[in-house]
Amino acid sequence: MKNNFGKILEYTWLVAAILSFGAAVHQTIYQGISNSWLFTIISAISIAMYFFRRKMRKLLEKTK
């Protein structure tokens, strides 16, 4: 159960990264870069969290 929750969180961060990146591209095209910087930062943080959660999950699986 706990392993499934970790995978769900991992993929939630990936979905958040994809959606925020899409929103950043959309904002950049239609309103300019000055209005899309927040979406770009959220996308970068989401990608970083995805890889961090993935690494931690794999480390925990190794130790068990």
Please list, residue by residue across 8-47, b when 16 or more beta carbons sit within 10 angstroms of its beta carbon and e when fewer do.
Answer: eebeebbebbeebbebbeebbeeeeeeebeebbebbeebb
pLDDT at residue 53, rounded to an integer = 92
CA distance 31 to 12: 27
CA 53 to chain centre: 10
Report the predicted TM-score, pTM, of the whole model to 2 decimal places.
0.84
pLDDT at residue 19, rounded to an integer = 97
CA distance 49 to 33: 24
pLDDT at residue 38, rounded to an integer = 94
- 8-54 pLDDT, tens digit per residue, is 999 999 999 999 999 999 999 999 888 899 999 999 999 999 999 99
Q: Is the pLDDT of residue 2 over 80?
A: no
